């Protein structure tokens, strides 16, 4: 008989024990004598027996599935980031013989995630976006499901893996201020996203540390469409901003399009920088000053954290990953 075809029934028959006994030896759960357990494990090792996922799942009360929750309202230019994070998650999950179940969730509609949890389809959840008022987190806490966020959260006692957005944004803003760009227009997205608040805090801290007064009229948030971004660019230029600082690559790409349309030259007429870099900005001329984060590493660390929780291990409450400030032509 091929080793690949050996089943729990075959092991039980060969050793003259019940299938329940074999399952208990494999899972380490239930009442079983030590001598019998060692006999089963020795036979399994000698015959290179690997229980299939379904059998292992039944033995260990696991599905060997993880749920990755993507926001339903992401912009097209956000897709490369989520793809990279998911690739990192998949790499670690695969090494541990877990599969990924993808779920789309809205800020105010988590019915898809609720159904997955209700039907016990996964052993844990990774949230790719967090909100100030987060129905996902509240539901998972109530159901006591292991989960981790790839982003910071204001909720207590949850596991978080994030890029150090606050420190990174503070450092980039500080560099711009040191380079005599004091009228910095900040263009950002939805205020209900935790990442928006982290980036905003970094911006505030840089001004405070430099002892330079901010100009509130140069801060534009909740820019959720092209028209809103265009108006923010127009206002920034009217107010003589010497630099337009974008909270992400999606906003930055639209800002650059608007400036080209208005025949405004970068960096001669206005300087440009972004709090997040991606493939969207890589081919731009001139090259864009930005913050560089490793999205795939973010996914890998989040998956390691979640698997640790599932196995009952002690895992960090919050993990902040490193970043790089990349100064380029757009702020010269």
- Residue ending a domain, choose from 39, 60, 81: 60
**Which residue is associated with the tokens 């097209």?**
76
pLDDT tens for residues 267-320?
999 999 999 887 778 888 899 999 999 999 999 999 999 999 998 899 999 999
Domain of residue 206: give its range.
Answer: 165-292+326-331
Strands (E), the chain: 65-71, 99-105, 124-127, 147-149, 159-163, 184-187, 219-220, 243-246, 271-274, 289-292, 318-321, 324-326
User: Within this chain, do residues 127 and 224 fall inside the same structural domain, yes or no?
Assistant: no
- Residue 76's pLDDT is 60
In this prediction the pTM is 0.73
User: Within this chain, do residues 156 and 299 fall inside the same structural domain, yes or no?
Assistant: yes
DSSP 280-322: HHHT-SSPPEEEE--HHHHHHHHHHHHHHHHTT----SEEEE-
- Asked if residue 236 lies in contact with residue 244, where contact means CB atoms within 8 angstroms, the answer is yes
Looking at residue 211, what DSSP letter applies? T
3-state secondary structure 19-58: HHHHHHHHHCCCCCCHHHHHHHHHHHHHCCCCCCHHHHHH
User: Within this chain, do residues 288 and 203 fall inside the same structural domain, yes or no?
Assistant: yes
pLDDT tens for residues 9-59?
788 888 888 877 877 777 666 678 888 888 888 887 777 666 555 455 545
User: Within this chain, do residues 99 and 206 fall inside the same structural domain, yes or no?
Assistant: no
Query: Which pLDDT band holds residue 209 (cuts at 50, 70, 90)?
Result: very high
CATH of the domain at 41: 1.10.260.40
User: Within this chain, do residues 171 and 287 fall inside the same structural domain, yes or no?
Assistant: yes
User: Within this chain, do residues 218 and 259 fall inside the same structural domain, yes or no?
Assistant: yes
User: Within this chain, do residues 188 and 152 fall inside the same structural domain, yes or no?
Assistant: no
How many domains does one find in the chain?
Answer: 3
CATH of the domain at 244: 3.40.50.2300
pLDDT tens for residues 72-100?
776 665 678 889 999 999 999 998 889 99
């Amino acid at each position: 008989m091929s080793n690949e075809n050996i089943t729990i029934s075959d092991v039980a028959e060969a050793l003259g024990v019940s299938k329940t006994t074999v399952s208990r030896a494999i899972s380490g759960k239930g009442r079983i004598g030590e001598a019998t357990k060692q006999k089963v494990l020795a036979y399994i090792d000698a015959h290179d027996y690997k229980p299939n996922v379904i059998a292992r799942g039944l033995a260990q009360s696991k599905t060997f599935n993880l749920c990755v929750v993507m926001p339903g309202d992401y912009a097209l230019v956000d897709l490369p980031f989520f793809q990279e994070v998911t690739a990192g998650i998949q790499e670690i999950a695969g090494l541990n013989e877990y599969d990924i179940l993808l779920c789309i969730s809205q800020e105010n509609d988590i019915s898809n995630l609720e159904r997955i949890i209700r039907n016990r389809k996964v052993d844990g959840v990774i949230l790719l976006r967090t909100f100030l008022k987060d129905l996902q987190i509240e539901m998972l806490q109530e159901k006591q499901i292991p989960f981790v966020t790839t982003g910071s959260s204001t909720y207590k006692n949850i596991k978080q893996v994030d890029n150090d957005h606050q420190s990174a944004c503070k450092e980039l803003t500080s560099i711009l201020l040191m380079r005599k760009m004091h009228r910095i227009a900040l263009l950002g997205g939805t205020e209900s996203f935790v990442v928006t608040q982290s980036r905003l805090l970094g911006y505030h801290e840089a001004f405070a540390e430099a002892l330079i007064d901010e100009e509130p009229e140069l801060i534009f948030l909740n820019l959720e469409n092209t028209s809103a971004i265009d108006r923010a660019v127009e206002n920034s230029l009217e107010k003589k901003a010497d630099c337009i600082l974008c909270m992400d690559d999606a906003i930055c790409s639209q800002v650059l399009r608007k400036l080209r349309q208005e025949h405004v030259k970068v960096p001669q007429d206005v300087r440009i920088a972004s709090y997040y870099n991606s493939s969207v900005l890589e081919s731009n001329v001139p090259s864009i000053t930005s913050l560089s984060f490793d999205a795939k590493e973010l996914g890998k660390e989040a998956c390691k954290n979640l698997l640790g929780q599932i196995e009952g291990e002690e895992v960090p409450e919050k993990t902040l990953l490193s970043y790089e400030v990349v100064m380029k032509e757009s702020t010269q």
